[in-house]
A and B are shown apart, each in its own frame.
Chain A
């Protein structure tokens, strides 16, 4: 068994799980490396085991697919074909120098992320997923304002809700399940505020007709919202949050055809929670450090889900936002391709023809979604100069505008150097879309040498040898 090639799959969401199961079934050993305590990723995030949830499916869509993946993973783990490393936060993937073509995956262990571990592999499959994009508005830093996905993650993972009365706002298909989930969990959802006109979506009949499952999913959420008497305000936006030390209300307003707020339509909705999101962004840090080509914000892959770096595959949201069904198809193809190539054969795409067909349709569907659910074209006009844009470094919109107008900054990097926006703990992951919008420049993928903060002690130590554990001394400040 030890002579079988080893594939490291990074991320145990839909793409990573599909890839793991496909590769393990076709003759390679897989090390599945994931930051969470349980498999599932964000989409299939499971309640903490100690909460002993007897009915976790009440928080989920397409539970049967999850059960199928879970059973297949368990079987491969039992058979010794898959090692599932939980609580491993990967910060760097290294391609060994020379001709070996091997890789070392560097991770930090446990929630403390102080101790280091290195895992060796013959090939790497990046299924790193995505995170939510949130554009700034006045007082969005108030406690009680959370991302829509964050509210859902806290609900799915730890069975808690942020407050009693919520407004769900922004744009995108995620808002529907978030509003439905909060309502089912006992939160009064005062409004679902969607800046797009979802009716425009119905005009994309070709993309819709090809995805009856997606249409049924949307209709299901709509029915749940109706049952909980949640009103949907389409072509509306949140213009401001209110409160002193925590959220007390939001002001929403209607949008005109150009995406500007209609003066005089503002109204105040009392709430203690605002769950807000404007779409998703791919996690591409590990791919970027490996030298993989990025197309805009996504990892470039070929028909086999290979990146342009030999031995590195990618699947799921990292290669473009498209949802869990697309991630499953891409993960399956990536796993099959990697298994074939690692065992010295040329894969036959006919073997995954069904997944490839599904991938084509779902990518068209994702493109239709992206064209319909866009933030209001003139959102930045609502951002006052004193609005904090970079939450970590507390850089205001006024400072960013000054860097552009007075100092001539024309790209994200120059704005960062002049203002510190994007230089803090999150390394610009949260503020980059907002800063780019305010500065009028393109949102580009940042090149981050490390995918997460790493204790200085880990960097100072000799590199741990692959597959052995090296204990290091956490620095006082934790991640640095």
Chain B
């Protein structure tokens, strides 16, 4: 069983810790928010304004805005574009993200 990191011969620096809804997860230098969440087996981090349905990555290139997430208190950021920094606090974005 191959992994994408093995396939591309990646030798990233040491993993660091971020939090998702208060829970610690590991991230690699260079990973976006979406990449670290996928690697941790998490596929949704937003609920919709109207019906409260879960959403995550859809287009993966910043066009669709489905992957919006709150990072360090700032809502409405695209998880597929935003690189992570050690200690970042990722939170599920509910609705517009302004009701917290």
Contact = CB atoms under 8 A, between A and B. Distances in A.
| A and B are partners in one complex rather than unrelated chains | yes
Interface of A: 35, 37, 42, 47-56, 58-59, 111-112, 131-132, 141, 143-147, 149-155, 157-163, 184-186, 245-246, 272, 391-394, 424-426, 429-430, 476-479
A160 B4 contact: yes
26 contacts: A47-B8, A48-B29, A51-B30, A52-B30, A53-B9, A53-B10, A111-B83, A112-B77, A145-B58, A146-B57, A146-B60, A147-B60, A150-B58, A150-B61, A153-B61, A153-B80, A157-B35, A158-B31, A160-B31, A162-B38, A162-B57, A185-B3, A186-B2, A424-B65, A476-B98, A479-B76
A418 to B, nearest CB: 17
B63 to A, nearest CB: 5
A348 B34 CA distance: 48
A154 B35 contact: yes
Contact of B7 (A143, A184, A245): A184
Nearest to A140: B58
A174 to B, nearest CB: 13
Given A51-B30, A391-B66, A131 B9 contact: no
Given A154-B38, A158-B32, A158-B35, A184 B2 contact: yes
A81 B79 CA distance: 34
A425 B65 contact: yes
Residue with the greatest number of chain B CB neighbours at <10 A, chosen from A59, A132, A143, A476: A143
A479 B62 CA distance: 13
A426 B65 contact: yes
B25 interface: no
Given A51-B29, A160-B39, A392 B60 contact: no
Interface string B58-82: 1111111110100000111110111
A430 B59 contact: yes
Contacts of B32: 48, 157-158
Contacts of B74: 478
B32 to A, nearest CB: 6
Given A154-B80, A162-B38, A186-B2, A51 B60 contact: no
B19 interface: no
A178 B81 CA distance: 20
Contacts of B48: 394
Interface string B25-43: 0001111101100110001
B61 A131 contact: yes
Interface in B77-99: 77-78, 80-83, 96, 98
Contacts of B8: 47, 51, 53-56, 58-59, 159
Given A55-B9, A147-B58, 12 more contacts: A48-B32, A50-B12, A50-B28, A51-B5, A51-B8, A112-B77, A144-B43, A147-B64, A158-B32, A185-B4, A394-B51, A477-B75
Contacts of A51: 5, 8, 10, 12, 28-31
Residue with the greatest number of chain A CB neighbours at <10 A, chosen from B56, B64, B65: B64
Contact of A429 (B7, B31, B43, B63): B63
Interface size class of B (residues with CB under 8 A): 35 or more
Contacts of A245: 44, 54
Given A111-B83, A162-B38, A141 B55 contact: yes
B12 A52 contact: yes
A152 B34 CA distance: 14
A393 B53 CA distance: 12
A146 B58 contact: yes
A157 B12 CA distance: 13
B22 interface: no
Nearest to B39: A160
Contact of B30 (A50, A58, A186, A476): A50
Contact of A163 (B43, B64, B66, B77): B43
Nearest to B37: A160
Nearest to B2: A186
A184 B68 CA distance: 29
A392 B31 CA distance: 26
Contacts of A42: 61
B42 to A, nearest CB: 9
Contacts of B1: 186
A54 B10 contact: yes
A132 B29 CA distance: 28
Nearest to A182: B4
Contact of A141 (B5, B39, B53, B65): B53
Given A52-B11, A146-B58, A426-B65, A246 B43 contact: yes
A408 to B, nearest CB: 25
A161 B96 contact: no
Contact of A150 (B13, B31, B57): B57
Contacts of A159: 4-5, 7-8, 10, 35
Contacts of B13: 50, 52
Contacts of A393: 50
